[in-house]
Structure 1
Amino acid sequence: MAENIDKALQRSRRNLPHWQAGGRTYFVTWNCIAGESLRVQERAIVVEAATKFHGDRYNMFALVVMPDHVHMLIQPLEKSPKLWWHLGRLLGGMKGASARKINASRGRNGALWQEESFDRLLREGEFEDKWNYIRLNPVRAGLVGKPDDYDALWIRSTADGWMQPDL
């Protein structure tokens, strides 16, 4: 896995294909391994891990931690001129940090998350749809009546409302 990503579109593959290009925004999903579910306090751990480097290594635009999966809109930032943070490394850090803390609270070791994540480079016109999908996911799942009532929803906003990146 390359440590740094430049502006050119790059492709890698494990079981799923992964495309990355510097300065782009991604819709990302990752899942718990079969049979695992996150309690309220564990979802807060994931939110903390996923937003820890917001504004430093990446811009996070929206995040929801559901009982068995996570969705986010994320844009890796420039690490040095014309080189961006690698999405896989960023996600690995989030998943690893949250799994270690959750496993410690459960008094156990082992996998919590599926190894791979699904990531999609956003195209022009897709940001708002994905942002709404993330925001409404807890409502559509029947967990709350309105998005703001969900305990593990994080939305980056400005005084004028939600913030959209340049695609």
Structure 2
Amino acid sequence: MSPKFFNPWREIDRTHNHLPHWQQEGASYFVTWRLADSLPKERLDKHYHEREQWIRLHPEPWDEQIEAEYHRRFSTRMDAWLDEGHGGCLLRDPRHAKVVFDTLLHFDGTRAALISFVVMPNHVHVLFTLNPEWKLEEMIHTWKRHSAHEINRHRGDTGPLWMKDYFDRLIRDPAHLNNCVRYIRKNPTKARLRVGEYLLYESPVAQSIL
């Protein structure tokens, strides 16, 4: 499966939980999910309140400019908070990070074609093209469920591991794809992580992007 970009002329499937999610069949996505303890509740409550107020003033459908403003205001802020390393950062442990790494690779080439991903201490970024037979929420649920089960088994725990929701963006064009590859590649350096505190994967497609 080669990268497939957002087509404004095709049908868009819009779903909501805490966050808006846009899907197109067989498209490529940049997705982030995080550990349940990765951000303080007070900060999250304020973030979601501000986001809900902004969305009321900017009802969907959004054009490209409004969507870009949304991500500047909210996604970029969230990424910066995650890089501060809040919570227990269970994925800093190489054993736990390897569970996530192996879980993602297990479905590579069948349910999704992985382009690039990084397992950070308290969150995961994944860039991939989804098999048209799978919904985005199904794929992410499978990744999260399996990795949570294995990590909790290692820890002797049964509590929630991942935050329920996730952040996603449809990849719009080759330039957007290249920027996402570079973001994932540079994320450990930006967060000042040492070798052994993260796991990075790049497919040949990602490795060809400088």
AA of the residue aligned to 1:91: I
C-alpha contact 1:26 1:74 (8 A) present in aligned 2? yes
Give the number of the structure whose residues are more often strand, by fraction.
1
Select which of 95, 105, 109 maps to 2:154. 105
Secondary structure of the structure 1 residue equivalent to 2:127: strand
Distance 1:150 1:139 in 2: 11
Decide which moves more: 85-94 or 135-144. 135-144
Equivalent in the alignment of 1:36: 88
Secondary structure of the structure 1 residue equivalent to 2:101: helix
RMSD: 1.9
C-alpha contact 1:19 1:121 (8 A) present in aligned 2? yes
Distance 2:31 2:198 in 1: 20
Equivalent in the alignment of 1:3: none
Q: Post-superposition shift, 1:98? A: 0.4
AA of the residue aligned to 1:22: E
Q: Post-superposition shift, 1:150? A: 6.5
C-alpha contact 1:62 1:72 (8 A) present in aligned 2? yes
Distance 1:95 1:162 in 2: 29
Select which of 137, 144, 150 maps to 1:95. 144
Of structures 1 and 2, the one with the larger relative CO (CA 8 A, separation 6+) is 2
Equivalent in the alignment of 1:126: 176
Give the number of the structure whose residues are more often helix, by fraction.
2
Query: Where do 5+ consecutive residues of structure 1 fail to align?
Result: 1-6, 80-84
Query: Where do 5+ consecutive residues of structure 2 fail to align?
Result: 1-9, 38-86
Deviation readout 1:76-103 (Å, 9 max, x if unpaired): 1132xxxxx1011000000010000000
Equivalent in the alignment of 1:153: 200
User: Is 1:60 paired with 2:114?
Assistant: yes
User: Is 1:114 paired with 2:195?
Assistant: no
Identity %: 34
Regions of 4+ moved over 6 Å: none
AA of the residue aligned to 2:160: A
Secondary structure of the structure 2 residue equivalent to 1:54: coil
AA of the residue aligned to 2:199: A
Equivalent in the alignment of 1:135: 185
Secondary structure of the structure 1 residue equivalent to 2:143: helix
Aligned pairs (5 A) from 1:13-24: 13-24=16-27
Aligned length: 148
C-alpha contact 2:103 2:147 (8 A) present in aligned 1? yes
Secondary structure of the structure 2 residue equivalent to 1:71: strand
Deviation readout 1:125-152 (Å, 9 max, x if unpaired): 201111000011111111137xxx7651
Compute the TM-score of the two structures, normalised by the length of structure 2. 0.66
Decide which moves more: 9-18 or 31-40. 31-40
Equivalent in the alignment of 1:47: 101
Equivalent in the alignment of 2:66: none
